[in-house]
Structure 1
Amino acid sequence: MIKFRARKFCRSNSKISGGGSTGGSGRGCGGSGEIKWELRPGGMLVQKRENGESEGEEMITVRVSTGSKWHDISIEATSTFGELKTILSLVTNLEPREQRLLFRGKEREDGDFLHMVGVKDRDKVLLLEDPAIKERKLHALSPENPCHPISV
């Protein structure tokens, strides 16, 4: 880790502070005077975040609608829609291959990353059951089906 001494830059705004200059002791100034830096894998030197997490590890809550029910799912922002389907399969009893996820009116592929298509905290995603698989299930459960255990 590299440490640099930070310069204090304060800007007073008389409209907000209700009067003259704060003389450098305002809300935006102060602190330890040191900024901690980190070297990212790409070689970029950036200021280290206070909570110690990088942006990719941020947890978001996605609200998933199945039509009649809502499910609030906590997931990493860098997860894929396929990973979201896996989590939803535990809640909805639909296999991931039976699910179709729509965000902003478009069906999303399993390999699409949530953060890359713009999913943010508390955004809504629509979950639909794949109509072809739904039809196959209904056909398999119908009494006319010779493979049905009830038919004679």
Structure 2
Amino acid sequence: MKQSAWTLVFGAWLVAAMSTLGALFLGEVMGFAPCVLCWYQRIFMFPLVFVLAVGLFPFDPRVTRYGLPLAIGGWLIAAWHVLLTAGIIPESATPCTKGVPCGLVQVEWFGFVTIPLLSLAAFTVINALLFATLKSNK
């Protein structure tokens, strides 16, 4: 086992765990209702916590086979959501027909950091770490 590969997967797990806890905190403690696209991103993020943890103990370099599809799918939805909240994609092109509108910005820190942007950043880091794991295993 390469120690660097384990460290990369652990870093990806840490980001996934922090993202999951952050999503739960924003929803359950702060009371922000998630939109449909937020739910889809959660569907991709939450299992990563368990999939990556199982791949760490004992370390299995094949964990990227299971983690990358989840991380890539989540990244695609998060990118779509960021483009939607930025006004680049029209609201009519989303699955949000009931409940919270997907284009609604509920939180905006520093004038530009939104919940979809945080999700995109988390999925980007996770993807980068998992791709680096693939490269270090070859």
Of structures 1 and 2, the larger Rg is shown by 1
TM-score between the two structures when normalised by the length of structure 2: 0.25
Which structure would you say has the larger RCO, counting Cα contacts within 8 Å and 6 or more residues apart?
Answer: 2
Which is helix-richer, 1 or 2?
A: 2
- TM-score, normalization by structure 1: 0.24
